[in-house]
Amino acid sequence: MRILIAAFAALTIAAPAAAQTFDFDDIALPPVNPATGLGLVTQEIGAYRGFDFFGIGAMSSLAPIFGSAAAAGSGSQYGFVGSGGLGALYRFDLIGFNFYSAFLSFRSTTADSDPAQIMIRGYRSSDTDVASINQLVTLSSTGAQFTFDFGAIQQLEIETVSGNGYVGIDDLSVSTVPEPMTMVLFATGLAAMGGVHLRRRKAA
């Protein structure tokens, strides 16, 4: 019976999966071009750690055009959404994912747009044009760690709604939600273990 209890506890803990943190430090960036002074930046990440990124690039704190937006204690690289733009990450091959926290900052391109307001939206599979979850945050150039409670979403959007500049993103924490078949297979195995346990007790 202790085995069954432990297995049930493991099933409970397994939903959701362990959180992973996107720090963007393992993305290869092009070197600085001596002629232009540009480099250490990619405009769109694309596929990264099982997720698809749209409108979100990666940059180094050493990049001449932007400066540091990395979280304290993190590496030198971070993600960013371009000036006045919209960025998103998504996974449509799962029930969804949970979004927990991120270090967010803002780099103004004009003198009067710091601080800025950023809308964070979470879309679930049943959503069409309207997000299930919306959270408005105010960002400054110093940046801050923000906590979110976006559960079982398939797409996360980050959009600048006031201010002109770049949104820096670092240490973005998510976890995937297990698919139903995974849970069914686990539960089937648990039931089989229970049957074996009962047969052994009767045999004894």
Query: What pLDDT, on a 0 to 100 scale, did the predictor assign at position 112?
Result: 60
> What's the pLDDT band for 190 if we cut at 50, 70, 90?
very low
Mean pLDDT of 88-101: 93
Whose tokens are 């997720």? That residue is 51
**Per-residue pLDDT tens for 95-108?**
899 999 999 998 88
Residue 191: how many CA atoms within 13 Å on its side-chain side? 6
* Run of H or E residues at 133: strand 133-139
**Per-residue pLDDT tens for 1-15?**
444 434 443 444 445
* Run of H or E residues at 184: helix 180-203
Query: What pLDDT, on a 0 to 100 scale, did the predictor assign at position 165?
Result: 86
185 against 55, higher pLDDT:
55
Query: What pLDDT, on a 0 to 100 scale, did the predictor assign at position 201?
Result: 54
DSSP string, 43-82: S--EEETTEEEESEEEEETT-TTT---PPTTS-SEEEEE-
**Per-residue pLDDT tens for 29-74?**
999 888 877 788 888 999 999 999 999 999 988 876 666 677 877 8
35 against 180, higher pLDDT:
35
On average, the pLDDT of the chain sits at: 80
Q: 3-state DSSP call for residue 29?
A: coil
Query: What pLDDT, on a 0 to 100 scale, did the predictor assign at position 9?
Result: 39
Query: What pLDDT, on a 0 to 100 scale, did the predictor assign at position 33?
Result: 83
28 against 140, higher pLDDT:
28
Mean pLDDT of 140-148: 91
So where are the chain's domains? 1-16+180-204, 17-177
> Is residue 113 predicted with pLDDT exceeding 70?
no
> Is residue 176 predicted with pLDDT exceeding 90?
yes
Mean pLDDT of 141-146: 90
CATH topology of domain 17-177: Jelly Rolls (2.60.120)
